[in-house]
Amino acid sequence: MATVRAASRLLSKRVLSNTKAVPAAAVQGSRNFHFSIYGKKKSAKVADDISTQYPVVDHEFDAVVVGAGGAGLRAAFGLSEAGFNTACVTKLFPTRSHTVAAQGGINAALGNMEQDDWRWHFYDTVKGSDWLGDQDAIHYMTEQAPAAVVELENFGMPFSRTEDGKIYQRAFGGQSLKYGKGGQAHRCCCVADRTGHSLLHTLYGRSLRYDTSYFVEYFALDLLMENGECKGVIALCMEDGSIHRFRAQNTVIATGGYGRTYFSCTSAHTSTGDGNAMVTRAGLPCQDLEFVQFHPTGIYGAGCLITEGCRGEGGILINSEGERFMERYAPNAKDLASRDVVSRSMTIEIREGRGVGPDKDHVHLQLHHLPPQQLATRLPGISETAMIFAGVDVTKEPIPVLPTVHYNMGGIPTNYKGQAIDHTNGEDKVVPGLYACGEAACASVHGANRLGANSLLDLVVFGRACALTIAEEHKPGEKLSPLKPSAGEESVANLDKLRFANGSLRTSEIRLNMQKTMQNHAAVFRTGSVLKEGCDKMADVYQSMEKIKTFDRGIVWNTDLVESLELQNLMLNGVQTINAAEQRKESRGAHAREDFKDRIDEYDYSKPLQGQQKKPFEQHWRKHTMSYVDPKTGKVTLRYRPVIDSSLNEQDCAHVPPAIRSY
Amino acid sequence: MSFLRLCVSASRRVESRTQAVGSVFSGSARSASGAPKDQEPLKKAKTPQGRFDAPEKSGDVLEKFPDDVNPVTKEKGGPRGPEPTRYGDWERKGRCVDF
C-alpha cells in the first residue's frame, strides 16, 4: 500500500509542485488521495453500531460543510485549498441552491465611481441594522469587502464594467458617503441582472479545481455532538436510503434561511432552516430569529415580489370593498408610504375582514387604471410577470398581493470568525468544532434589518472566514477525537418513526396549518394579543406533529419522508420565531410592534445623554435573543446576550455609538 | 424513332451514374422529344433550421443594448432595459428581487 501510494504520489502533479523529501511516516499524516487504485474510497466503512435495519456508512474527513449555496461552496473550496480533506453534504445540487435567485448586486467600497471608504460602508451597515449588529463582525465584513469582490472577479465572475474597465458600481441599498453626510454612495457591483446565479456558478466552477468530495442529494439529519463538541454530521442519502455518518474535526453549517415557515415567501421550497433545527436539537441556541424581513407586495400563491415602482407609477392597493385603503393609513404619502407602513396597513385590512379572495387573505394591486402604453414603457415586462405568476392580465385585472417574507436575519450565533457560540454565565463560549456562515448564521452583520446587496457579500466573506479560521486552528490530517459508536441513533430512530408514521394528519396539512398561523400571527402586524394567540396555536400545531401520517414506506427517494423531516425543522424554527417576537417588547428594524412602537435602548438616544440613567440589561432591548427549544415538548426558553459594540480595531475604525435611525 | 426512345431510356439509366455522359444524352433527348416533366421532383431541403435562419422574434421585452454598452451610463455588460434601481429596489420585468 505504501509503495502504491508513493508511486501515485510521484505521478500526482500537485505533490510535484511542493516536493521535498517526505518520509513515509509523514505521508500517513497527510490526507488520503481522492482516487485509489481499486476505485473505492478506502475510508468509508459500513457500520453496524446504530442500526441493523438501515445500512450505515461511516466516513472520515477533516472538515464537513453542510449546504452548497454561496457560503457553503466558498467555505468548501477554501478548506480544500488549505489542504483539508473536505466533504460537502448538500440536499440539492450546488447550482440549484437558492443563492441562484439572488439577482441583486454585491456592495463593496471599491471606490470606482467616486472616492469611497469602507468605513462609510461600515457606518451604513451599522445604522441599517438598527444598532443590533455586532460591530466587530460588520467591521470585518466591510473591510474585507473590496478584497472579496476582487477575488470573485479573479475567479471569473463577469461583473459589469465602466468605460475604463473597472467594475461598475451603482447606487443601491441605503449607502451613503462620509458617514451619512456626503450624499448617495455608489457601491453595488452586479453582473447584468443575475449576480447570484453568476456567483454560484463561478464558485461551483472554481470549487471543481480542488478535490472536495461532494455528497449531492444527501439530507443532513443531525449533528453528532459529544460533551458539547461537534464531531460531525449524520445524513440520509436520498438516492438509496442509506445513512451516512460523516466524522470530522470541523463542521460548517451553511444551509440557508427558513422562509417556508410562512405562507407567503420568496424562498424556494427547499428553504427549510435545516441547519438552525440541527443546532437546536443539539441543545444550542439560535439568535435573533424574530427578525424576518418582509416586502409588502408579493404575489399571492407564487411568492414573487412586485416592485414598488408599480405604486410609484400610480398603482393602488384595493381591499374587498374596492376602497383605496392607504388613504386612511397614510393620508399624505398614500400608496407611496414606506414599506413597513404599507405592509402593516395591508395586514390590518386583512385582519379586519376586508381581504379579497375565497379565504379573504390578501389584497389587490390595481394597475389597469393606468394607460397600457405607460405601463409598457415605464415597467417593461410586468404584463409577462403578472401573467406567468398570477395568471392575470395586468391591463384588465388587479394582481393579488400580500406581505411576503424575503430574508431571515437571524440564525446560528457566531463570532466574527465564523465559530458558533453559546452564551453561558454572561460570556460567549465557542462551541468546539462547529462553524456557520451565510443566511443560516447570525454573525449579526444584518442585525435587525438587512440592507440590500449586503447578503451576497455576507456569504463570500464569512464563507472564507470559516475556512481561514479552521486553517488557522487546525491542521489537515489531524487525528479525529473518538466518538461513541452509537452516535446518531436518535436520528435514525426519528427517521424510522416518520417513515412508518400512521396518524391522522398529512404532512401537507400540518405544514399549511403552521404556515397560515405564522402568516396570520407572526407576520408584519405584531401586537401582544395577536402574538400570544399565535404562540398558543403554534404550540398546538407542534403537538399535532405527533399525529403525522406518511404514505410512502419505501426508502429509495422517499420525498414524503424528506418533506416530513423538513417540516420538523420548519416547526422548530417557527416556534422560536413567534415566541421570540412575543417576548421582545419594542420595535426595532424589521420587528415592528403596534403596542410598543419605540426602540428601547439603554439610554434614550433621542435626547442628549447628559444626566440619563443607564438602564440595566434586563430592562432594555438592545440585546440579542438566544432561543432554545426542547424538541419533545416544543417549549421555548429565551435568554439574552449583549450586542458587541466595539469594532476589531478602534484606531483603524471607530465604533458607531447608537443613535436614532432616520433616513 | 424507337431507336431514339431506346436511347432516351438508356440515357436515363446512365444519367443517374454519370452526370457528364448523361447530360449529353439528356440534352439530345430533351431537344428531340420536347420537354418531358422531371420524373423525380426536387425534395425539400432536409437540413435543420439553424438558430439564426429564422428572423429573431422580437418577443423579448428587454432589448440588448448595442455592443452591450448602456448608452446613458456607459456601463458594459450591465442589466438590460431601464435602470433596475430606479425605484429604490432592484426591479426586473416588474419583479422586485432585492430591496
* Domain harbouring A323, CATH code: 3.90.700.10
Is-contact A259 A252, C-beta < 8 A?
Answer: no
CA distances from A658 to A123, A333, A447, A606 (A): 11, 29, 13, 10
Q: Which residues contact B42 (CB under 8 A, 6 or more apart)?
A: none
Tell me, what's the pLDDT at B44?
72
Tell me, what's the pLDDT at A24?
43
> For chains A and B, what is the number of CB pairs under 8 angstroms?
112
**Partner residue opposite A160 with nearest CB, options B62, B77, B83:** B77
CB contact under 8 A, A102 and B73: no
CA distances from A342 to A259, A309, B39 (A): 20, 14, 77
Name the minimum distance, in Å, from the CA of B59 to any CA of chain A.
Answer: 10
**Partner residue opposite B94 with nearest CB, options A105, A170, A381:** A381
Asked if A331 and A229 sit in the same domain, the reply is no
Domain of A70 in residue numbering reads as: 57-104+194-291+409-604
Name the minimum distance, in Å, from the CA of A102 to any CA of chain B.
Answer: 7
Any domain includes A212: yes
Asked if A515 and A537 sit in the same domain, the reply is yes
Helix A455-473 to helix A70-81 angle, to the nearest 10 degrees? 30
All residues of chain B having their beta carbon less than 8 Å from the beta carbon of residue A307 are 87, 89, 91, 94-96
Residue A274 identity: D
Cα angle A642, A605, A291; round to 5: 45
Tell me, what's the pLDDT at A27?
41
Tell me, what's the pLDDT at A7?
52
Is-contact A95 A204, C-beta < 8 A?
Answer: yes
pLDDT at B32 over 50: no
Is-contact A142 A110, C-beta < 8 A?
Answer: no
pLDDT category of residue B36 using cuts at 50, 70 and 90: low
Judged by phi (left if over 0) then psi (alpha if -120 to 50, else beta), residue A183 lies in left
Return the DSSP state at B42. P
User: What is the Rg, in whole angstroms, of the alpha carbon atoms belonging to chain A?
Assistant: 25
CB contact under 8 A, B99 and A380: no
Tell me, what's the pLDDT at A13?
44
Any domain includes A650: no
CB contact under 8 A, A191 and B92: no
Is-contact A395 A372, C-beta < 8 A?
Answer: yes
Asked if A359 and A416 sit in the same domain, the reply is no
Any domain includes A256: yes
| Cell numbers linked to A374 | 405607460
d(CA A224, CA A246): 9
| ipTM of the prediction | 0.83
Tell me, what's the pLDDT at A395?
92
Active site members of A: 339
Return the DSSP state at A260. G
Cβ neighbours around A347 below 10 Å, total = 23
Any domain includes A597: yes
Cβ neighbours around B35 below 10 Å, total = 7
d(CA A254, CA A75): 9
What's the CATH code of the domain at A488?
A: 3.50.50.60
Residue of A335, A268, A259 lying closest to A297 (CA atoms): A335
Asked if A252 and A390 sit in the same domain, the reply is no
d(CA A454, CA A153): 17
Is-contact A404 A261, C-beta < 8 A?
Answer: no
d(CA A292, CA A526): 12
d(CA B36, CA A400): 70
Asked if A96 and A205 sit in the same domain, the reply is yes
Is-contact A605 A659, C-beta < 8 A?
Answer: yes
Strands A548-549, A505-506: pairing is: parallel
Any domain includes A491: yes
Tell me, what's the pLDDT at A211?
87
Tell me, what's the pLDDT at A40?
44
CB contact under 8 A, A382 and B94: yes
For residue A332, count CB atoms less than 10 angstroms from its CB and return exposed for 0-12, middle for 13-18, buried for 19 or more: exposed
Q: Mean pLDDT, consecutive 10-residue segments, chain A of 663 residues?
A: 54 43 42 43 68 86 95 95 95 94 92 93 94 95 95 95 93 89 92 92 92 94 95 94 94 96 95 96 96 94 92 93 93 88 92 92 93 90 91 93 94 96 94 96 93 93 95 93 91 94 95 95 92 96 95 93 97 96 94 91 90 91 95 94 93 92 82
**Partner residue opposite A309 with nearest CB, options B74, B81, B87:** B87
Q: How many domains does chain A have?
A: 2
| Cell numbers linked to A646 | 466595539
Q: How far is CA A182 from the centre of its chain?
A: 32
Asked if A90 and A236 sit in the same domain, the reply is yes
